[in-house]
Each structure stands twice: as C-alpha cells, then as structure tokens.
Structure 1
Amino acid sequence: MGKNINELFSSVTIQSLKGNKDVVVNEIHFDSRKVKHGDLFVACRGTVSDGHDFIDTAVANGARVIVCEELPKKSSSETSFIVVEDSSAVLSQIAHNFYNKPTENIQLVGVTGTNGKTTIATLLYNLFRKLGYKVGLLSTVCNYVDEKAVKATHTTPDALQLNALLAEMVEAGCEYCFMEVSSHAIDQKRVGALNFKGGIFTNITHDHLDYHKTFEAYLKVKKAFFDQLGNKSFAITNVDDKNGKLMLQNMKGHKFTYSTRSFADYRCQILEKHFTGMLLEMDGAEIWTNFIGDFNAHNLLAVYGTARLLDQDKEEILRGISELKSVDGRFESIISTDGIMAIVDYAHTPDALKNVLETIAALRTGNEQVITVVGAGGDRDKSKRPLMAKISAELSDKVILTSDNPRSEDPDQIILDMKEGVSANNTRKVLAITDRKEAIRTAHMLAQKDDIILVAGKGHEDYQEIKGVKHHFDDKEVIKEIFKL
C-alpha cells in the first residue's frame, strides 16, 4: 500500500526537501521504535518528549523519509528529509492522504465539549443503526466499525489510528461516523485534515487544566474545532451554555442551536421525571425516553437536531430515540434485593458530578439518604479535587472519599487534596476510605431501604490504575457482588 512523496504531501506546504523526491514509503510512524526499512518518520514535538531527538533512531531503523521542523546536524544521504512548519499538523494531513482521504467518502460528525460527548456520539451511532445504516463510532468507551468492536485507548485516537479506522469504515460500507473530539486531539492537530460534515458542542466547564493551564486556553481550543469547519459543514451548539454561541462566532458553515430553556432551532421541554425515565416534548412532539436528568434532555436534543440536519425523517428519529437505552456507565442504576439503589456514573468533573446529584435530588421523595462514593484521578488537574468533594458534601447526606485512578500519585494525598474543599459544617458527613471496594461496601452498610448510593468517576472503566499498573476493577461488578445479585 506504499505511497510516493507527491501523493502523501498533496495539500501540504513543504519548506524544503533534501534528498530523493520520488521515494515510495511503506508506512508512516511518529514513534521511532516502530519504524522499519522503507518507512516514513514524523518528528513531532510533544508535551513530554520531542520526536526530533529520535531522528537518528528512526534512520538507523531504516526510515527512508524524515519529516521534521528543523534538520538534524547530521543527515544520511540515503534518507530524504522534508522540513515543514508544524510536524503534528502535517502528520494529520499525510495520514489522511495515506489512507486515501477516507472522510471524502463518509459523513463524519464530531462531538466536543466537557461533558456529554460519549453519550451523544454513542446514541447517534445506535440511532442511525436503528434507522438502517452502517455506521462507525469513535468514542471513549469503544470504537466500532459497523458491528465490529475495536478497543479504545484514548477519547480520540492518534492521527494514524484515526485515519486507519475511518478507512476501515469506508471499506465496510459505513455511510456515517460519529466521533468524540477531545481538546487534546484538537490542540495536537490529530483531526486537522479530516473533512467534518458537522460538529456538535455540548458544554464547557472545569476540566483538563493540567494540560491547557487556563480555562481561556481550554475554551480557545474547543472553539478552534468549529473555526476549522468548512463552508458546507454544519455546527449545532447548546445555547444553554454561556459559551455556546461563542463556538459559532467564526464558523464558516451552517449554524444551528438547541436549548431546553430558551429560543433555539431545536427545543425540548421535560414534562415528567421519574427514576425510570422522562416524558419529553421534543420539537412539538411528546416522547417517553429511558433517560433521566436535565443533562440527558440536552444530550437527546443534540442527537435529534443532528439527525434532522443529516436529513432523517422526524417521526423515525423520535421513534428511534424513544427506544434508545443509556450508555454504559452513564447514570446506570442497580437495585439490591433489600431495596437500595446504586447509580454508577462516569461523572469525573465538578459540573458533571453536580448534574448527577441535582438529578437525584429532583427525583427524591424526601426521606431517602443519598450516599456518594467519589474520588479524583491522579496525574490530572488537581484544582478540581476540592471542588468535587465540596459539591459531593453539599448535595449528599453522606460522602465517602476514595481512590479513582491514582496513577503515579499517592491516593491518600489525593483524598487530602479533596478534603480541602469540604466546609467545616459538612466535615461530619465525610469519611475517607482509600480502598474503593471497601468504600462501596461501607456505603452499602450505611444505606437503608430506598436509599441511593452514587458511585461516581469511573463509569464504564473496568480497571484501576495504581503506580502505573492497571488492575481489573469494575464499579458495577463490585456493586453486584456486594448486593449479592
């Protein structure tokens, strides 16, 4: 499947080329360890390491072409060197070219925002399959090429994996692909060369400040996704978020809005709320859904609006939405034989946690206790730790602070960081149990019939990462074991 330089660098601005311009390359890599004879290596500057430091390794492994932002002091006469302004952006473009520009042959819709990306992308995938289409999905939980599952390692794959998966979808006959677009992927130019049919904005709240440093930088990166959409693309944004309209400010294509509270192109109102679902009025029609919470009303409305913008029939969409089930690890409920309800949710940001706890509060009859089991991830944005604990203590009757994925950090220190957010009035509500299984077990011991236990932060994840090692751990499995189900 080799490609020559002219094919690969179509639409790419080259600053200089040293060596043979007619080289044919076998594969593209940005990890020098994967390079074999006849391959092309792209030296990308990352947050941890700089690919330029590994050019010699790539050449020694047989690279025929090196793409870089500056030439090394020594260069091999058998290797061609192509100098570009931004290696990461070029990687995205040549990956797209290498895999025969897959997004010219599939309608790709990207979902970005802090919360709701996985739910919206997955529900669109499930809805369009119900409508009879072959569909692809790129998400945090799992990637799908029509029915074939492909394990996900990142919210958005790297540029090479991404284009390879999209090419596989085209080959399989998929007409649509719905994908989560993370802020990291936008910032690292992983999606820069892709042709998006549309983009969806969910909301933006406190997250990933370990990477972006400031909220303004995080906001700017999200907006950049919409700025890059083409003239023929559409964008649909949540105007109930104060930054929703900002996303459309410089967008060149067709602009649409959705809201549960104000005037918008697509509107929805919650008529009834129950633990088993909601009755919605969506675009003038009443439908019963299997989802709970105002945030899910927004998610379903984004799904509806997007499907309409993709020219699907209104009645068919509404029928399909009424049949959809919740996404793995998103407000999933498990009821014990003694009448205690556990809710497992991926909420790992302050806003997502607040949404879930407020949803539970709105459904309480008044006598139930809400017991929240929550942690915070290690090696990530530390500023959200006290906020997570503060929200939990304010909106719960009891809180158990525990481990999430401590990664390389001391889990006890993470819990101490969280405790900083608990006010003096709420300290009596809060326990700290580092072992997550014991924390869930203790919550069950404290609970009585009709009480609600929220286990937040991990959702669909089936592992716990401690000191760089992933151990099997699934909140739902643990709950079912403790509930003896």
Structure 2
Amino acid sequence: MRTTSEIAEAFSLGMLVSDQADVTSVAISSLDVVPGSLFIAVQGEKSHGIDFLSAAIAAGASAVLSDREVRADVPVLLHPDPRSIAGAISAFVMGTMNLGLQIFGVTGTNGKTSTVFYLHQLLLQMGVKAGLSSSAFTQIDNRRADSALTTPEAPRLHRLLSEMADSGAQAAVVEVSAQALVRHRVDGLVFDVTGFTNLTRDHLDEFGSMENYLSAKAALFTQKFSRRSVINVEDRFGEQMLELARAQSPEQSVSIGHDKDYSFEQTPTGIKITGKQELFLARNPGPLMSKNLALAAIMLLEGGYGPKAIAAAALAMETVVPGRLDLVSDSEPHIYIDYAHTPQAVELAAKELGDKYPQLLVVLGASGDRDAGKRIEMGRAAAKFASHIVVTDQHPRGEDPASIRAALMNGILETRPESFISEIDDPALAVSTAVDLVGVGGAILWCGPGHLKYREVMGKKLPFDAHLEARKALNLD
C-alpha cells in the first residue's frame, strides 16, 4: 500500500487536490477498479478515461491520475503522460518487483503464443506452480480467462502477477507484443529470461518499416527489461536482434541456430537440442511447432532447470496449442484452425499440412484496418501449397470486406488461375464449402480465427466460434 503523497513525491506529480488517500492497487480501465485503486485516466482509441471517472469513483477508486485537470471527490494527481509511468507506479504500489516470481517473457512475430504455452506446460509438469499471460488466455491455478490484448495494460499485468504470487505461484510466463513495448505495458518489470521467436512482416501500418518493428521488439532484450535472453536466429532479422541483445548484455545473451550457442533438429522421435547443454525432447509436434518447443526448452535451460527434468516434463505436457494448427476433430476431412495472419505464418502452416496430405484446401481471410500491404503476400503464400483456396472474410473492421478479399486474390492470381479460387464472404459458409470441395484423404487449413470467439465488423465484436462452425460443417453438431 502507498499513499497519494508518497506516489506524488516518488514520481514528481502535481496534485490538484492535496488530501491524502491510501492506494492499494492501480487500474487504467474503470472496469478494473476495486476499492483503493488509483485510477489512471488517459486518452484511449475512442475516448478519454476522464469520461469514466464517475464510474471509477463509484467502484471505489481512492484517487485519480490524469493528464487533465478535473474536480473530483478524491485526490487528483497530474502528469503530462500518465501511461508512460503507469507500469512504474503499478510496481511501486503493488510491490511486483519483489514477488519472488521467476518471470519469462517471449516476443516475436509468429510463435509467441505457442512458446509461452509450452513454457507454462513444461513448468507445470516439472512441479513448478506457474501463471500464464498470453494472447489466447490468462491462467492462475486452474482459472482461465480470455485475453483482450496480447499483453495487458501495465496495471492489469502487474495485478495479474500479484494474484499469481498470492496463489502460491513460483513462476510467470508473459507473451510480449511490440505494441506492449512501445506503449509501456511491461514497464516496471524485469524478466529473468526472455526469448525471441522471429521477425516477419506484420504491423507495418503502425511501425512503418521492418527496421522500426525490429527496434520496438529489441527493447525487451535491454538491461531495463531482461536479465538473460535467448535469441532464435533463423535469418538476418534474427542476426540483427542477437547483435542488439549482445550490445546490451554480451555475457547474458545466447543464440539458437547453425553454429550458435544452441542448435536443434527435429527427428522422427523428437527434438534433439545440442550446444551449451544437451537435451532430447521425446515429442514431435510437427516442424512448425517444434522450433517453438525448442525455444521454450532452451529458455528453461538458461533459467536454471536441468535437462532431465525438462525431458521428463515434455513427455507429460500438452502440445496442442489452442488455435494453432488445432485439429478440430478426427472426423474426415481433417480441419485445422490456425491464427495465421502474416505471410510467413500462412506459408509455414500450409507447407506443413501440404506435405502431410495429398490435397490441401485453404480457407483464407485477412483483417481490416491492419497493414494492407501484407494481404497480397498472404495470398501468394497460400498459393504455394494449396490445391484450392476459399477466400473469405475474417475481421473487416471498418474496411470494405470486398477490397480485402480482392487483395488476397490478387496475390493468389499471380501464380494460379481463377478456377483455383472460390470467393465466399461468409466464413461459416466458406468452411462448409471447403468440406464439400476437398477430396478423399485431403485436409482443410482455416487461417485467421485461431482461438478467437468473435469477428470484428464495423466497430462491433460479433460472436463467432470457428471450432463450432467447423464441427457443423462436418455434421458433428
């Protein structure tokens, strides 16, 4: 617990109302306010937090921090950019720097969710009580909750960690996005071990260039956030990330790849890891997921866990990641639901299934209001390994969905004839049509929906369960 006077002094804040109040937690959304919260009111995408001040006070907020002067019945603290200090204040109030948790963090374009899922699974199977914060869900003990963001806002993340510690957790695993790093969502935390999966095209609408995108993610591997880092080096971006990490901590950054600190190979019976330490994981989740499992295992090696303990944990762990090459049912044709929404993710998922099945139909959609330039590349990627593609809608958001589908089809038509494509705007009908089109022994890869239970259309999140629709298409429900 802290007082408003202590917070104001520690962060050089102005005080519009000088009355002192006790603060026991921090919230940046009025929906997260509990009695004793410091409510941080900032500008959001559509509104300012001050608009919800009455609701926050009614919920028990004992003070407010904002960039705007406001009259209220609680102490008001002022700062020109409250979001930039939200993480540090959260750590100061909730004591999250001294929770005794070993914290793992993972960033990258593709594979983040799978890697943190595997880390969490391996820790649990080793008898380490651990919490998880991922884009799919957060988990404390056996309690899971759907996630609204890949990485929660700083006050919410700090509260999650505090709740994990209160539940007796010894470790926490956090998925870290580039947006989280530039928007201060992990401020106030120092990760014991961080990991990097890869960097491929995504979010260029926000970052402008791959160099800026890489720079945003590289912040995780600075001494500000990381005590030790594990960098997967599979291309020039991996090399650049390793160079940046080692410039910060030469002795605390290790690499994965050919002629690096560690290397791994997938064998028919599992994953063989060699280098600084040797480890064999007797699991084979497929080429795409094996590199994520290898990264998770090497992060644990670097975190002080023994090869024998990790190997034993791998035998008992769950390897199916929700919404990632997720097989809907054993019923044929096999339908796999995947979160693939970048060109590389589409290509790798399609390649893996294309190598496995004699015929692969891809159901492909893309998101509106996000990096329009990657859509044509997604179409090209799917065309490399599919025998037919059903182009459909995913999250059009505020855009004309027809224009999104057209961009995907332009990429496909660079190498394939029009007969190769079926255009069906309704995704439920699209997957049902794919079932009718696929041949004996074939499979369907549905790219886009992943773990999500909604679609975003014209500012609204409409309920949509891809697993349920796939089961309906197979006449299972």
Task: Find the aligned partners of 2:404 and 2:439 in 1 and give their Cα distance.
Answer: 29
Instruction: Name 2:468's counterpart in structure 1.
Output: 477
Q: Are 2:312 and 1:319 equivalent residues in the alignment?
A: yes
Partner of 1:415: 405
Identity of aligned residues (%): 27
> Aligned partners of 2:152 and 2:321: how far apart in 1?
20
Aligned residues: 467
Matches of 1:3 and 1:287 in 2, distance apart?
A: 47
Q: Is the CA contact (8 Å cut-off) linking 1:300 and 1:321 kept in structure 2?
A: no
- CA positional deviation for 1:32: 6.7
In 2, distance between residues paired with 1:33 and 1:359?
42
Alignment-mate amino acid for residue 211 of structure 1: E
Tell me the CA shift for residue 379 of structure 1: 2.4
Q: 1:132 corresponds to which residue?
A: 127
Query: Which residue of the other structure, out of 239, 243, 255, is the alignment partner of 2:233?
Result: 239
Which residue does 2:4 correspond to in 1?
A: 5
Which one-letter code corresponds to 1:459 in the other structure?
G
Contact map agreement 2:363 2:431 (CA 8 A) in 1: yes
Q: 1:260-409, aligned counterparts within 5 Å?
A: 261-272=257-268, 279-283=270-274, 284-293=278-287, 295-324=288-317, 325-334=319-328, 337=331, 339-364=332-357, 368-409=358-399
What does 1:456-467 correspond to in 2, within 5 Å?
Answer: 456-467=447-458
Change (3 A) 1:265 1:465: same
Query: In 2, Cα distance between the equivalents of 1:67 and 1:377?
Result: 35
Distance apart, 1:203 and its partner CA: 0.8
If the length of structure 1 is used for normalisation, what is the TM-score? Answer: 0.86
The equivalent residue for 1:443 is 434
Taking only aligned residues, the RMSD between alpha carbons, in angstroms, comes to: 3.0
**What is the letter of the counterpart of residue 267 of structure 1?**
S
Of 110, 119, 125 in structure 1, the residue corresponding to residue 114 of structure 2 is 119
CA distance in 2, matches of 1:140, 1:264: 30
- Structure 1 residues 378, 306: closer, same or farther in 2, change over 3 A? same
How far apart in 1 are the matches of 2:322 and 2:52? 42
Q: Structure 1 residues 33, 395: CA separation in 2 closer, same or farther (over 3 Å shift)?
A: closer
| Structure 1 residues 234 and 161, CA gap change in structure 2 (3 angstroms) | same
Q: Tell me whether 325-334 or 417-426 shows the greater mean CA deviation.
A: 417-426
Task: After TM superposition, give the deviation of residue 31 of structure 1 in Å.
Answer: 4.6
* Matching residue of 2:185: 190
Shift in alpha-carbon separation, 1:230–1:422, aligned structure 2, 3 A: closer
Query: Among 94, 100, 118, which residue is 2:95 paired with?
Result: 100
8 Å contact from structure 1 (residues 258, 302) kept in 2: no
Pairing 1:142–2:137 present: yes
Q: Distance in 2 between matches of 1:333 and 1:480?
A: 11
User: For the residues of structure 2 that align with 1:169 and 1:27, how far apart are their CA atoms?
Assistant: 15
Structure 1: unaligned runs, 5 residues or longer: 273-277
Deviation of 1:47 after TM superposition, in Å, equals 5.2
Distance in structure 2 (CA, Å) of the matches to 1:263 and 1:256:
15
Deviation at 1:205, TM superposition (A): 1.0
Q: Which amino acid aligns with 1:118?
A: T
Q: Distance in 2 between matches of 1:426 and 1:214?
A: 29
1:24 paired residue number: 22
Q: Shift in Å at residue 60 of structure 1?
A: 9.3
Q: Does 1:86 align with 2:81?
A: yes
CA apart distance, 1:424: 4.5
Pick from 176, 181, 191: which aligns with 2:176?
Answer: 181
- Residue 404 of structure 1 aligns with an amino acid whose one-letter code is Q
